[in-house]
Amino acid sequence: MTLTPGKDPDRTVEHRQTGTGRVQFHPAAWADLPTMHHVVNALAGLPMREPRGGTVVHSHGGKSYRDQRMLR
């Protein structure tokens, strides 16, 4: 297991949008998703407990992950 610190000085955020998010899974048939229909149908059967917020971030750059460390 590893830990990656959240700081990322090499990333530049150009634009950020936040809003209210909502997810809905529609039941699928084998013909729609041959290898994943059972997963989608299981998710579609779960109740929606509470809506969550959503964020879209447009950025460029990124970290090298050299600061990642092993947890012991």
Domains of the chain, by residue range, sit at 2-70
- What Rg do the C-alpha atoms of the chain give, in angstroms? 19
Is residue 3 within 8 Å of residue 68, measured between CB atoms?
Answer: yes
DSSP E strand boundaries for the chain: 2-3, 12-21, 52-60, 69-70
Mean pLDDT of 44-70: 88
Q: How many CA atoms lie within 13 A of 14 on its CB side?
A: 4
pLDDT exceeds 80 at position 64? yes
What pLDDT does residue 53 have?
83
CA atoms of 14 and 57, how far apart (whole Å):
8
Q: 43 in helix, strand or coil?
A: helix
Q: Is the pLDDT score of 33 beyond 90? A: yes
Query: Is the whole-model pTM more than 0.75?
Result: no
